[in-house]
Structure 1
């Protein structure tokens, strides 16, 4: 089986690495399934007290959705796709252990959302983050809910409708990057924080994270329900497929 996700242990810290560097760690269904399994395995491992999520290579945490997968979707598959994200986001939200994103490059679209679901985000000056899904004809539902919770409605509208990516300085200024360090120090900084958090009382940590989940559960379920409805309509229209084909054609031409 292809290993789209790599895992390792460093003492009481579990590390998960997104492992498709040749396409900027963009994910498809098998990769999402392996990521869910990795989160569940570390959650069940009592020796692991903190988790780091990062991406292979030095160009991207993840570019988000692999458009080669979604460009073939119809309405029914678009709705099913939302269910796949629900399983991944549920696995992340249900963790009783602190989760740190070690950002080593761009985090776009669904990868931006995954980064926001982490408890902390460590980055370097070259990191860019945002919600460019509209540029590929993909309607946004889970992303706007997460962004509104963290940065307010005005910025959420800006990022969702413009599709622009923010530089790391802007991300830190609005509170979604916790620390910016030189690129070569991102993992060391994430490990230092992970060990610090792993030393905290585990019951208090679990209960604090449980309460954060309870506080946001109603909005989370609402955005998933809306996502199933909206993605069915979007993909049934054919617009996402057309926009993705155009995007992929432009990218191929730029590499020729």
Structure 2
């Protein structure tokens, strides 16, 4: 494993930290692959009864996809990219142990989706969450699936097509943040919640999570098939590459001006 993923244990709770704070914990292939390995190890460790997923730093749980990786994709690489997400999402969905997400700052795009694949989420008033992929030319397929399952079609269309980010109060009001606490209390609250879940009967926990997975499996498989079809078409058009280059150039200009 690389240093992009950090792990530790505190009693019956395993903690996984996304560790690319210099780029707001944005995803690349190595980080996705290492996260799967970390989940595999904690799933296999019988002493671990619950898991916390968080991000390094105080600005972001995750900014989503690292555009420096995807800006050069062609149609074939885009299809491989969908398969990489399938591997991660399937690993998360098949965990037998409770997964608590400790949010610190922004959770955008695929990081928003990963947060929603957790069982419960702890956040603070500075958290912002949403699906801004359209702003960088990325078509959304897995995002609308998981959002629709949790917040319905109307809000899913709003977030997907506008690319806006919700503030913590909105996220809490619609059930996407389960515990809203001061920023310096997020990890303590997540540990308390994970400890509570770790004390639940493990067979019942496993079977409850299995049933949630069964209830959503058809939609999950449909979104992956759609992802291959849609991302191939999108990247073959050249639009994502153009939009990502523009997005990155504007971001670099803002940094220079600052």
Partners of 1:25 and 1:104 in 2: how far apart?
A: 11
Alignment deviations for residues 57-88 of structure 1 (CA, whole Å, 9 cap, x no partner): 00000001000000000011111100000000
Partners of 1:148 and 1:90 in 2: how far apart?
A: 18
Alignment deviations for residues 87-114 of structure 1 (CA, whole Å, 9 cap, x no partner): 0000000000000000001000000000
Paired position in structure 2 for 1:126: 126
Paired position in structure 2 for 1:93: 93
Structure 1: which 5+ runs fail to align? Answer: none
> How much has 1:4 moved relative to structure 2?
0.4
Partners of 1:81 and 1:123 in 2: how far apart?
A: 29
Partner of 2:104, secondary structure, is: coil
> How much has 1:2 moved relative to structure 2?
3.3
Question: Pairwise mapping of residues 1-256 of structure 1 onto structure 2 (< 5 A)?
Answer: 2-256=2-256
Partners of 2:125 and 2:57 in 1: how far apart?
A: 16
Partners of 1:203 and 1:169 in 2: how far apart?
A: 34
Partners of 1:42 and 1:72 in 2: how far apart?
A: 34
Partner of 2:126, secondary structure, is: coil
Partners of 1:2 and 1:241 in 2: how far apart?
A: 27
Partners of 2:12 and 2:225 in 1: how far apart?
A: 37
> How much has 1:174 moved relative to structure 2?
0.8
Partner of 1:40, secondary structure, is: helix
Partners of 2:206 and 2:194 in 1: how far apart?
A: 15
Alignment deviations for residues 163-201 of structure 1 (CA, whole Å, 9 cap, x no partner): 000000000111111011000000000000000000000
Partner of 2:96, secondary structure, is: coil
Q: TM-score, normalised by structure 2?
A: 0.99
Q: TM-score, normalised by structure 1?
A: 0.99
Partner of 1:61, secondary structure, is: strand
Aligned length: 256
Partners of 2:83 and 2:2 in 1: how far apart?
A: 23
Alignment deviations for residues 184-242 of structure 1 (CA, whole Å, 9 cap, x no partner): 00000000000000000000000000000000001000000000110000001000000
Q: CA RMSD in A?
A: 0.6
